[in-house]
Chain A
Amino acid sequence: MAADLDKKLLQVSKFIQKGQFERAVKEYKKLATIHKKDPKILNSLGDTYIKMKEVDLAMEVFNDVADKYIKDGFYPNAIAIFRKMLRFKPDEIEVKLRLADLYVKVGMFSDAEFYYNQFADHYVHRGEIIKAIPAFEKICSINPENIELRKTLAGLYFRVENIDKMFSMYKEVFDYLMQKKDNEGLADVFNTVTAISNKNNLLTSPTYFTIFEQYITYLHKMNEGSLAKKSAMDMAAIYMGLGNQRWAQALYNKVLELDPGEMSARIKLIEFYKELGESKLLVEEYLKMAQYLKETDPSRANVIYSEVLQLDPDNVEARTALHKEEKAEKPQVAKEEKKIKEPAAKSPSAEESETPADLVETPEIETQIYNEEEKDTGIDLSVESVEASTGDDFKEKLQSVDLAPETADDEPEITVEIEEEKEETQEASPIETESVQRKKGYFDDDEEMNIEFEVEVGSQGQLEVKEKPDQNESLETALSDIFSQYSDKLGNEESLLTKINEMDSEEFIPSVDEIVNTFKKGLEEQLGGDPQAHYDMGIAYKEMGLYDSAIGEFRRLALLPQFRFKSLNLLAQCLVEKGDYQEGVDEFLEVLGDEELSVEERDGVLYNIMVAYYRAEKYAESFDYYQKLSSVQIFKKDELFNEIRKKLMTLFSDSMKEEDKETADLTIEHDENPFGESEAEEVVISADEPDEGTHDEEEIYEESHEEFLQEKPAQESFEASSVITQNLLSEIEELKESVATNEDLIKDNSELITLLLQSREEMLQLKADVETLARRLERFDDYLSRLDALEEKADHVSRLPSLEEDDAISLEEKRLLIRDLKSLKAEIEKQEFTETLDFIRRLKDGGGDDFIRNLSVGTERLTRELEEARRTLQNLSSEAGRKGSDEKSSAELLLTPEEEAASPALPALEEEPLLPGPDDRLEKDEEKEDKDDDQDDKISYF
């Protein structure tokens, strides 16, 4: 069945080859209906739309394909489809989000992060930050350990005024940091949250309160108790100022939970309950205060118990405490014991309290236990017992306890009078000693403090304490004294909130741009280390043939915008070198999808694709890309490019038919899937046999086959023309290339050519000079022959017998001889030896090469030989003269006066150089030839 489908798809692809896109679309749609939207068919349909430039339609189809793949769990396939979509529509932003989600599913988190960032970028640049947030949230979710990202996201929530999410995110961060015990991080987050909350009236937010409370607890655990308590007190005061008594109360209780002895918090609570008229809570706090004080400062504890009894005369704890004191002091007074039980109606209930149940200690359990004890032991409330129990200090302060019964039932009325004296109080405890000055405020001027209570035993046996009016003031004063002593205990401690009003939330919250950059930087950090180092290592691995390692490096680097292009390129090259051609080409195509590529970059990628196809032996595709690059100058000197060009030219100049077949095989689906469909490509379309499929399918086959057969000749003709045209174009390109190369050469070497021309001019001049010299040398030859003749004659003369002896020589012969000599001399004198010498000198000055030097040597030799000849001539002349003088008269008779004047002969020759000998001439000729050769060599060299 699958093979059938492949066969059909291959057939439809032939329509595409022929440019019959509409028909192909129709057929694909039919096939899709038949095969229940098989993603492979839809993918081909989408590809066809792309060829038709119907990108939107293609996107719709590809979306369906991706959905199908996702539904079936083929995530990598869906990823490939989404990436293809982005190649044709890089701004398809929702595709990026879906692609990122898929990368998360397959565990490729860096890639996911890259596309989430792209998604977010899109909206941030449009000012729609809210729409970018889901992507940032996802980046955070795939980086659970990256706390910076979460903080940044919290800042982003603040920027978009989503306060709930902001607090929630800070809370997450806070919890994480507490778990990690990251003190610095916690302080940072706390300051940020506090600054934001303070500036934006958010301190009363429940989340902020929770963060604050948690931080206080954490600091206490970390031995920063004072800081914690002071900060909590300050914040409670702030809450009070803000009218949020609930949080204030909670914080005071928190302080007391951390340190029950922290009187300042207790006092604040007492003041707070007083103000609210919460007598029950007030009594509880008084009791706790007294409980804490009674060990260290029992007299003050009793004052507070007394205060309690004023508020709650039936308060068993206070009454008991006071009674025990009295009893201890005066055990003999205890005569009457009464059982006291807590009135159920007056029992405080937790529900009434505003204090959160978990933060406020409920007194009930303790009270009940205490009452049980009372039941067992009874309480001695006799005057004696009270007096006896108060101890020394208190005893003195206690002036009277009136226990006289008031009622008809003879129930005793207990009146307690307390008198305190300044001096005694001062000695009472070390704490008091420390605060003498303050105490003087209310124990001054010897005025005795008289606090008088009337303790009544009610009809039910309970005690009732009535405060005497004059005693109330004293009790208040005593309390005030205690409060003032303890309330400022934390006054100078450090607080987290000291600079709360100076904190500018803008300093803590990054701008939107900074937020976006932080997310991008997070991606960079994922790489770990310097990206350039990774890039270099990637190259090193690639060069060593360790392609997987190289691909790993480049894959990660490709997620960084500044490395994306070159890393993807190298990654694709690695894939190609590994033999994964299809994947390599896919990566290259993805690079090409970037609209910001320069022309050079684009050409570089096209070159790589051409090489990839070439290596895959997909020559038709390679040829496509070659054509796009054939006129690009930079590749002309590239060895591989030229190798590919030669191969492709050979292939595409071969027989049309063979090439047609090859091309047909090679071009199927090549735009998108040149390698993956290799099996399908091998299927031969002899498939005009009836198919097992439906009638519709059979029709498709028959129609398409007939059409294919009918159109084949025209198609062949067209394709043949096309190939010829391509070949012609290639030739033209080659010619262009050649011309361009020549032009470049000429341009590049213009200076050299100018020099060459100058040298050539000089050489030509030199050649002309040499030719002149040669001509002159020829004349020297003539002279030489004449000299030979002369020598012969001279020889002849020498052989002449003396005039006396040889009368046979006629005078006429002698005259002829002399005439010859004169003629020779005159002729020699005519020669322009001076000019020749100048010429030679000029040659020497002009650069003097070996030739000149040899010429000079030869010339000198010629000079010497000429000198020799001259001397010979002179000798001949003198000999002739000597012989002539003997018959002077006759000679004189023979010579004309002019001839006689000339007869001393040839003096000018002394100044003249050289007459070359035969050997010299030969040498000169050779030198001349050498010179010419040299000249030729030089020209050819240049």
Chain B
Amino acid sequence: MSLINYASREINCKIVYYGPGLGGKTTNIKYVYKQIDPSARGKLVSLATEADRTLFFDFLPLDLGQVQGFKTRFHLYTVPGQVHYDASRRLILKGADGVVFVADAQRERLEQNVESLENLRVNLISQNLDPETIPFVMQYNKMDLANVMTSEELEQQLNPKGYLSFEAIAVEGIGVFDTLKAISKLVLKAISEGR
């Protein structure tokens, strides 16, 4: 749930980039960081430690300007893709307003993609977030590689419900902003509808 602060007139929306390890989540965020004017973004924070546990995440605040008199910011997070960081993933998912699933389009990564998707579903539920209604966008990354699945196959295997999806080559920035724009629209729409 987005953090609406009436006192300081701020809305902070949380968008989490989810997906298997080495799928390109951080690459997505880093590309956004490089492309966006410094005045419209904060610092890209990577990795933070906190007391007795260790959190691994990238964090990038983006400034969207004023929306109905509220200063609106998007906070982009990535989760650690490695399986054993599930606690961190749950923590980062807490209060998420939207999720981008960055799938690795390589054929041999299909299984990890499927596992990660299932893990996302479980973790969303554990954070009292409805996997069916939370704004969600699918990104098929690394489409420039040789051994990738076709988009039809990917859609069939990973996106049977037909969520909005984009093909991407995140290292080159292809599809990065399309994905971000799509999830942004969905999140803002959800907020305006009071969801």
Q: Which residues of A contact B (CB under 8 A)?
A: 530, 532-533, 536-537, 539-546, 548-549, 565-566, 569-570, 573, 591, 600-601, 603-605, 607-608, 634-635, 637-639
Contact = CB atoms under 8 A, between A and B. Distances in A.
B125 interface: no
B75 A601 contact: no
Contacts of A541: 50
Nearest to B2: A543
Contacts of B45: 533, 536-537, 540
B12 A544 contact: no
Interface stretch (B89-97, B168-176, B177-185): B89-97
A543 B94 contact: yes
B96 to A, nearest CB: 9
Tell me whether chain A's interface is mostly helix, strand or loop, or mixed: helix
Contact of B6 (A540, A548, A549, A635): A635
A566 B6 CA distance: 10
A549 B50 contact: yes
A536 B75 contact: yes
5 contacts: A540-B45, A540-B59, A541-B50, A569-B5, A604-B8
Given A565-B8, A604-B9, A539 B75 contact: yes
Interface in B136-185: none
Given A544-B91, A570-B8, 4 more contacts: A536-B45, A540-B45, A543-B95, A604-B8
B84 interface: no
A573 B50 CA distance: 20
Interface in B66-105: 73, 75, 77, 91-92, 94-95
B43 A569 contact: no
Interface in B31-83: 42-43, 45, 48, 50-51, 55, 59, 61, 73, 75, 77
Contact of A536 (B4, B5, B61, B91): B61
Which A-B residue pairs are the 8 nearest by beta carbons? A604-B7, A604-B6, A566-B8, A533-B43, A536-B61, A543-B95, A569-B7, A544-B91
Range of interface residues on B (Cβ < 8 Å): 20 to 34
B7 A566 contact: yes
B5 A544 contact: no
Interface residues of chain B: helix, strand, loop or mixed (majority): strand
Interface of B: 3-10, 12, 14, 42-43, 45, 48, 50-51, 55, 59, 61, 73, 75, 77, 91-92, 94-95, 194
A592 to B, nearest CB: 10
Contact of A569 (B8, B12, B75): B8
Contacts of B6: 600, 603-604, 607-608, 634-635, 638
B135 to A, nearest CB: 16
B14 A543 contact: yes
A607 to B, nearest CB: 5
A607 B5 CA distance: 10
Contacts of B12: 539, 543
B38 to A, nearest CB: 11
Given A530-B43, A532-B42, A536-B59, A549 B5 contact: no
A545 B75 contact: no
Contacts of B5: 566, 569-570, 573, 604
B125 to A, nearest CB: 17
Contacts of A604: 5-9
B56 to A, nearest CB: 13
Nearest to B42: A536
A637 B194 contact: yes
Given A540-B59, A543-B3, A544-B92, A566 B10 contact: yes
A189 B195 CA distance: 62
A193 B173 CA distance: 57
A600 B9 contact: yes
Given A532-B42, A536-B42, A539-B75, A607 B194 contact: no
B53 to A, nearest CB: 9
Nearest to B93: A544
Contacts of B92: 544
Contacts of B95: 543-544
